[in-house]
């Protein structure tokens, strides 16, 4: 359903700001870290560690999502997931999210109901709640999410700790969202598993703290593409990274889709964004935890190579390019 197709339906203008807030929050279960939820000037979240990890992402209709490609509930899931992946990439456990929503006054309330249901679903997957936010009128729908996390005594895993000799590993899917985007761009809606990976990513939230506990030296959320995001680790750590394609599994479903579209599935895996897998470096192979897969090595120098050579083509997504 298009968010601006009212067709006699009740709209957000009919319900009003506070009525909409009640619809989104009433009867919803908060996570254990929430000490005071929505309804006051600010929420209160427990920070047992004494340090709060925070991250914000903005999703703009037409740039990050399209309602003719993704139903509102999956847009809601995606909005939460992309933010919680950043928290996990620091080695922290998510504790809460705040949501800012701007949309046209003609947006049907049913769209917001579905959108918020998806948000609550994804928050529930991480065992947290939506503790507050803000709303505003806008010509285009914009969703802004701020995620909070708790390190639980760990040191934060930044992008700047990789050392020559480290092993590069990943947790989560690679290339699936890019494949789903390619399918949607051709006007198709199946295979459902591939399209669904683009509509609502499933970051491995627990893998971040797991990697931190096992001695990860650097870590990042793969949001813009594996090569591009490993490049951020390389720059921050002043090292070079080489990715080995013989260590990267390309799922048969991606191969099938690529053959149907005349595309290269390896390109999706290496440069496709929005899967929100986690990439990290570890001091030795024995430190890599279960569920993570070694895909390369850290060396002296600079830049990211594939099988020892410069990758031809864009390494990933960049805004304003």
In a 13 Å sphere around the CA of 47, the CA atoms on its Cβ side amount to 9
Residue 180 lies in a domain: yes
d(CA 241, CA 294): 13
Q: Based on the domain organization, do 171 and 306 belong to the same domain?
A: yes
- pLDDT (tens digit, 9 = 90+) per residue, 41-90? 888 999 889 999 999 999 999 999 999 999 999 999 999 999 999 999 99
Confidence band (pLDDT; 50, 70, 90) for 176?
very high
Does the pLDDT at position 320 exceed 80?
Answer: no
Ligand-binding site membership of 237 (annotated): no
Q: Which of 140, 125, 148 is nearest to 64 (CA)?
A: 140
Ligand-binding site membership of 317 (annotated): yes
What CATH code is carried by the domain that includes residue 237? 3.90.650.10
Residue 278 lies in a domain: yes
- pLDDT (tens digit, 9 = 90+) per residue, 240-281? 999 999 999 999 999 999 999 999 999 999 999 999 999 999
Choose the final residue of a domain: 121, 150, 179.
150
Residue 321 lies in a domain: no
CA dist 320 → 63, 168, 185, 312 (Å): 11, 29, 20, 21
Choose the final residue of a domain: 150, 175, 200.
150
CA dist 207 → 121, 178, 262 (Å): 20, 22, 34
Ligand-binding site membership of 22 (annotated): no
Q: Based on the domain organization, do 183 and 294 belong to the same domain?
A: yes
Instruction: Tell me the DSSP string of 88-111.
Output: HHTT-EEEEEEEEEEE-TT-BHHH
pLDDT at 16: 85
Ligand-binding site membership of 127 (annotated): no
Q: Based on the domain organization, do 242 and 119 belong to the same domain?
A: no
Confidence band (pLDDT; 50, 70, 90) for 304?
very high
Ligand-binding site membership of 134 (annotated): yes
Q: Based on the domain organization, do 221 and 131 belong to the same domain?
A: no
pTM: 0.90
Ligand-binding site membership of 86 (annotated): yes
Residue 157 lies in a domain: no
Residue 123 lies in a domain: yes
């Amino acid at each position: 359903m298009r968010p601006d197709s009212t067709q006699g339906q009740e709209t957000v203008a009919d319900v009003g700001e506070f009525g909409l807030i009640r619809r989104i929050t009433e009867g919803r279960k908060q996570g254990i870290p929430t000490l005071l939820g929505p309804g006051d000037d600010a929420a209160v979240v427990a920070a047992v560690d004494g340090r709060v990890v925070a991250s914000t992402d903005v999703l703009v209709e037409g740039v990050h999502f399209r309602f003719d490609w993704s139903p509102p509930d999956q847009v809601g899931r995606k909005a939460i997931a992309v933010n919680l992946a950043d928290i996990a990439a620091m080695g922290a456990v998510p504790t809460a999210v705040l949501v800012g929503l701007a949309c046209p006054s003609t947006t049907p309330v049913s769209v917001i109901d579905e959108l918020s249901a998806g948000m609550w679903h994804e928050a529930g997957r991480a065992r947290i709640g939506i503790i507050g936010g803000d709303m505003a009128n806008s010509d285009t729908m914009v969703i802004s999410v701020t995620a909070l996390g708790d390190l639980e005594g760990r040191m934060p895993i930044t992008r700047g700790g990789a050392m020559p000799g480290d092993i590069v590993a990943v947790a989560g899917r690679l290339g699936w969202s890019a494949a789903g985007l390619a399918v949607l761009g051709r006007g198709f809606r199946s295979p459902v598993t591939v399209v669904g990976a683009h509509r609502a990513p499933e970051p491995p939230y627990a893998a971040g703290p797991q990697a931190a506990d096992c001695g990860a030296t650097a870590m990042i959320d793969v949001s813009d593409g594996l090569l591009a995001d490993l490049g951020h680790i390389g720059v921050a750590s002043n090292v070079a990274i080489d990715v080995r394609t013989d260590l990267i599994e390309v799922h048969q479903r991606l191969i099938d889709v690529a053959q149907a579209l005349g595309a290269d599935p390896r390109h999706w895996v290496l440069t496709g964004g929005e899967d929100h897998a986690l990439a990290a470096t570890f001091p030795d192979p024995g430190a890599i935890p279960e569920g993570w897969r070694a895909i390369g090595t850290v060396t002296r120098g600079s830049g990211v190579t594939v099988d020892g050579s410069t990758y031809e083509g864009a390494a990933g997504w960049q805004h304003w390019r």
